[in-house]
Structure 1
Amino acid sequence: MVWARVLGSAAGGGSPQWNCGCPVCTAVRAGSGIPRTQSSVAVSTDRDRWFLINASPDVRGQIEAFPGLHPRAGRTTPIEAVLLTDAELDHTLGLLLLREARALRLYATPAVHRTLCDGSGLLRTLERYCAVEWRAVVPGADLALAGGLSCRAFEVPTTKRDRFATGEESGRVVGYRLTDERSGGTLVYLPGVQALTPAVCAELRGCHTLLIDGTCWHDDELVRLGLAGKTSREMGHLPIDGPDGSLARLPALGVRRTIFVHMNNTNPVLLADSPERRVVSDRGIEVAMDGLEVEV
């Protein structure tokens, strides 16, 4: 069995975002919504050894909120490694908060690793504090983790501008399909996807549980609110609504349980009483909150 704990369910900045007074952030501050931290998940097959997928800037609070990640004795931690889906700051800044580790095992594609070393320089800083053991992730190749847990990364095409460009396109963004080799249970974690291409759909089809990008409701959500000049797709995220949005596309994939993660602070699905949340619920899709635990 694969256990997954949603450590953080919001997009970068969390919900509410510190500098945002949009209707959703205002409602959350007023107590009409649940605060959420930035996107990350922990997975395990034995509830003893855990793998973090992404390390958000909120990682310390997320660890403290989940006893399963607390140290057992001295500096012994149940966190085996961190897997990265990309090199975005909201998915990697938490690595610096793990610098007290004696050593940190990190799974990332060569493109992500090179960006963190030569682009943002984040790994060069981390290596001044602790040993970093990088293990290359190759999209399409099965990778054994621990306790019968294996994963396969898959390429997620994106046209989003790379802020720390190193000249590489392949492997900039990946999703992970995790499998319990004993039970056959499968879980896909995909917090960022710009388009449900045939290749991406093939990786999602038939999985038991899908944790998928729910960043924006409308493609022009931030433009409508006067908060940004880019659409959701231009920022690398498929919107939920619309004729080619995720809500219209996902039912055909035969996934048993679908859960939106990585919601932007502007997304009305964050509010339990919103019409948008009712639409999602009526389609049989869930909206994650911090602390949600999933068994596959």
Structure 2
Amino acid sequence: MRVRVLGSAAGGGFPQWNCGCPGCRAVRDGSRPATPRTQSSIAVSPDGERWWLVNASPDIRTQLTDTPALHPVGHRGTPLQGVLLTDAEIDHTLGLVLLREGGGVHLHATAATHRTLVDGTGLLPTLERFCPVTWTEVVPGTVHDLGGLSYRAFDAPTGKNDRFGTSGNGSGRVVGYRFTDTGTGRAAVYLPGVQALTAEVLHELAGADLLLIDGTTWHDDELVRLGLAAKTAHDMGHLHVGGPGGSLDVLTALDLPRIVYVHVNNTNPILLEDSDERAEVEKAGVTVGHDGLELEV
């Protein structure tokens, strides 16, 4: 199984166009070592020829252009087989409309996510005006075969505000994916948004050969400290990385072979390559993901 990180930043990218936080300033003026990043997405493949996107960010065109394995085959062919969604966030779905030239989009999403994209954002009815859209319902806990590769989605419980009021009972509103190479049995988990590492979520991570996980902020009140927002990471559906009870503290006790932080917000100091926080993450044996990172499982 092959995994490529297409975008490793949270919504807005790095630097974010309207942000003057220390990290964004460093990218622009070169005052500290920091690498630009596009918005969160990965591609996964069983053989390097057939690929599935997991989330379609607003930066999808640039990401596809920068990834030779995803370039067109022949005149208009494509190695892209479909798009799997972890939720209905605009940062994870807006790129769907940029795939309209492909002759059709095969979407894998939970009923809650599909409902939001139809009745909430209206994104799918818009896309369907331009190309056919087929939907495979993702049912948490159910294995779905992709041919040489399978996935099982699992709930990532969240209490963040449902701005469209379409999530129903909350099941399937935010999910992670556990991919398994059906030939080797090796597994990779993608979980770019998680509010709490509950016992149920930790059970889904157990035994994974690769974990790509939410690294949005270092402090829970990071945006509040910087005067950028009144919401905490928890309010926005994310578990902070640093300190007691942070994800780094919890994850390093799991003895997983490889952990990679993705969906990293522009405010998180781990994006500054000379920061103490970055050093702490690397000392723990955890990788800060970057665009173009290629992983074989």
TM-score, shorter chain, exceeding 0.5:
yes
Within the alignment, does 1:127 sit opposite 2:151 as a pair? no
Given residue 186 of structure 1, which amino acid in structure 2 is its aligned partner? A
State the partner residue of 1:151: 151
State the partner residue of 1:95: 96
State the partner residue of 2:143: 142
State the partner residue of 2:225: 224
State the partner residue of 1:272: 273
State the partner residue of 2:179: 178
Q: Which runs of 5+ in 2 are unaligned?
A: none
Identity of aligned residues (%): 63
SS in 1 for 2:82: strand
Check whether the contact 2:115–2:167 (CA below 8 A) recurs between aligned residues.
no
State the partner residue of 1:160: 160
Given residue 251 of structure 1, which amino acid in structure 2 is its aligned partner? T
State the partner residue of 1:3: 2
Q: Which whole-Å CA distance do the structure 2 matches of 1:12 and 1:269 have between them?
A: 16
Q: Which whole-Å CA distance do the structure 2 matches of 1:53 and 1:272 have between them?
A: 27
Show structure 1 runs of 4+ deviating over 2 A.
none
SS in 2 for 1:82: strand
Within the alignment, does 1:292 sit opposite 2:290 as a pair? no
Alignment of 1:205-244 (within 5 A): 205-244=206-245
Q: Which whole-Å CA distance do the structure 1 matches of 2:207 and 2:224 have between them?
A: 35
SS in 2 for 1:98: helix
Q: Which whole-Å CA distance do the structure 2 matches of 1:164 and 1:80 have between them?
A: 29
SS in 2 for 1:294: strand
Within the alignment, does 1:202 sit opposite 2:221 as a pair? no
SS in 1 for 2:101: coil
Q: CA deviation at 1:167?
A: 4.5
SS in 2 for 1:253: coil
SS in 1 for 2:252: helix
In the superposition, the TM-score normalised over structure 2's length comes to 0.98
State the partner residue of 2:108: 107
Aligned residues between the structures: 294
SS in 2 for 1:4: strand
SS in 1 for 2:193: coil
State the partner residue of 1:116: 117
Q: Which whole-Å CA distance do the structure 2 matches of 1:237 and 1:187 have between them?
A: 20
Q: Which runs of 5+ in 1 are unaligned?
A: none
State the partner residue of 1:68: 69
Q: CA deviation at 1:164?
A: 1.8
Q: CA deviation at 1:252?
A: 2.2
Check whether the contact 2:194–2:214 (CA below 8 A) recurs between aligned residues.
yes
State the partner residue of 1:38: 39
SS in 1 for 2:177: strand
SS in 1 for 2:100: coil
Q: Which whole-Å CA distance do the structure 2 matches of 1:131 and 1:152 have between them?
A: 25
SS in 1 for 2:146: strand
State the partner residue of 2:56: 55
Q: CA deviation at 1:255?
A: 1.2
State the partner residue of 1:250: 251
Q: Which whole-Å CA distance do the structure 2 matches of 1:46 and 1:215 have between them?
A: 30
Tell me: CA distance 1:167–1:257, structure 2 relative to 1, closer, same or farther (3 Å). closer
Residues 179-208 of structure 1 deviation map (CA, whole Å, 9 limit, x = unaligned): 001011100000000000000000001100
SS in 1 for 2:154: strand
Q: Which whole-Å CA distance do the structure 2 matches of 1:184 and 1:270 have between them?
A: 33
Tell me: CA distance 1:137–1:250, structure 2 relative to 1, closer, same or farther (3 Å). same
Q: CA deviation at 1:260?
A: 0.2
In the superposition, the TM-score normalised over structure 1's length comes to 0.98
Given residue 15 of structure 1, which amino acid in structure 2 is its aligned partner? F
State the partner residue of 1:20: 19
Q: Which whole-Å CA distance do the structure 2 matches of 1:156 and 1:167 have between them?
A: 14
SS in 1 for 2:102: coil
Q: CA deviation at 1:170?
A: 1.0
Q: Which whole-Å CA distance do the structure 2 matches of 1:254 and 1:205 have between them?
A: 9
Q: Which whole-Å CA distance do the structure 2 matches of 1:251 and 1:263 have between them?
A: 18
Q: Which whole-Å CA distance do the structure 2 matches of 1:183 and 1:267 have between them?
A: 36
Q: Which whole-Å CA distance do the structure 2 matches of 1:202 and 1:237 have between them?
A: 18
